[in-house]
């Protein structure tokens, strides 16, 4: 269980106070208006922002004293953060071993993970030789291979066309059914994930305004605000 209780962050023009719980193994889609605080929530969980007060635990472990690299968390950004001079295998290998001195077992694990994301045979390519969707798969493979139990996806697929975006969300869903991971994913188009997410959290004005099963959230009194958030994104 990921538990966030009254985690407060404040800047002169923005105050956030997050409370959210996500069960182990669940996929939680985070939606809301632009500037509402979705990315800040993920950055706080990853350790890039430190709350002034509140508690943040994963499976009972207090994450707040841990620096980002020590947290049991992997994050995938929209621009996927791949190193252009490294091969696909090396980019994924960074998730396992930053020195890239990979054992044979680790190389085999990377191959298996590339297969799982549909990139068998792409190991020697460089990111520049791949499409946007393929690069996102590499970033996803790197997060998965790290074995970290919590994966944060910050609008990972918003630059892709609707069909590919949907395919990638189905891929995320498929992978989390095969591995014990909990996933938080920010998205701009809630309908992409309405049938695969276990939970949907609506974040606005720095708060989790509502959280629950996607159908409940999408059919709640928030529906007009959700529609407005989608049309303005």
Contacts to ligand ATP by CB under 6 A: 11, 14, 32, 34-40
**Closer Cβ to ligand ATP, 40 or 146, answer by number:** 40
**Closer Cβ to ligand ATP, 32 or 149, answer by number:** 32
Contact 21, 208 (CB under 8 A): no
Cβ 204 to ligand ATP, closest distance in Å?
Answer: 8
**Closer Cβ to ligand ATP, 38 or 71, answer by number:** 38
In three-state secondary structure terms, 109 is helix
CA angle 98, 38, 195 (to 5 degrees): 95
Q: Computed over its alpha carbons, how large is the radius of gyration of the chain?
A: 17
Residues 6+ apart with CB under 8 A from 1: 21, 22, 23, 24, 57, 58, 59, 60
Cβ 28 to ligand ATP, closest distance in Å?
Answer: 15
Cβ 11 to ligand ATP, closest distance in Å?
Answer: 4
**Closer Cβ to ligand ATP, 35 or 121, answer by number:** 35
Cβ 106 to ligand ATP, closest distance in Å?
Answer: 34
Residue 178 CB neighbour total at 10 angstroms? 9
């Amino acid at each position: 269980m990921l538990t966030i209780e009254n985690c407060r962050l404040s800047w002169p023009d923005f105050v956030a106070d997050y409370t959210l719980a996500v069960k182990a193994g669940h996929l939680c889609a985070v939606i809301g208006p632009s500037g509402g605080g979705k990315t800040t929530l993920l950055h706080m969980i990853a350790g890039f922002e430190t709350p002034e007060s509140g508690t943040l635990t994963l499976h009972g472990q207090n994450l707040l004293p841990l620096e980002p690299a020590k947290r049991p968390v992997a994050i995938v950004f929209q621009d996927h953060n791949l190193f252009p001079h490294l091969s696909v295998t090396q980019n994924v290998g960074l998730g396992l071993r930053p020195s890239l001195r990979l054992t044979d077992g680790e190389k085999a694990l990377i191959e298996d993970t590339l297969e799982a994301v549909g990139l068998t045979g792409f190991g020697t390519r460089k990111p520049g030789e791949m499409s946007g969707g393929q690069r996102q798969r590499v970033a996803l493979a790197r997060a998965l291979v790290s074995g970290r139990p919590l994966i944060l996806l910050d609008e990972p697929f918003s630059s892709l066309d609707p069909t590919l975006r949907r395919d990638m969300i189905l891929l995320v869903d498929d992978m989390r059914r095969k591995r014990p991971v909990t996933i938080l994913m920010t998205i701009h188009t809630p309908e992409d994930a309405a049938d695969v997410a276990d939970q949907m959290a609506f974040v606005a004005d720095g708060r989790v305004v509502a959280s629950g099963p996607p159908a409940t959230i999408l059919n709640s009194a928030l529906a007009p605000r959700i529609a407005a958030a989608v049309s303005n994104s």
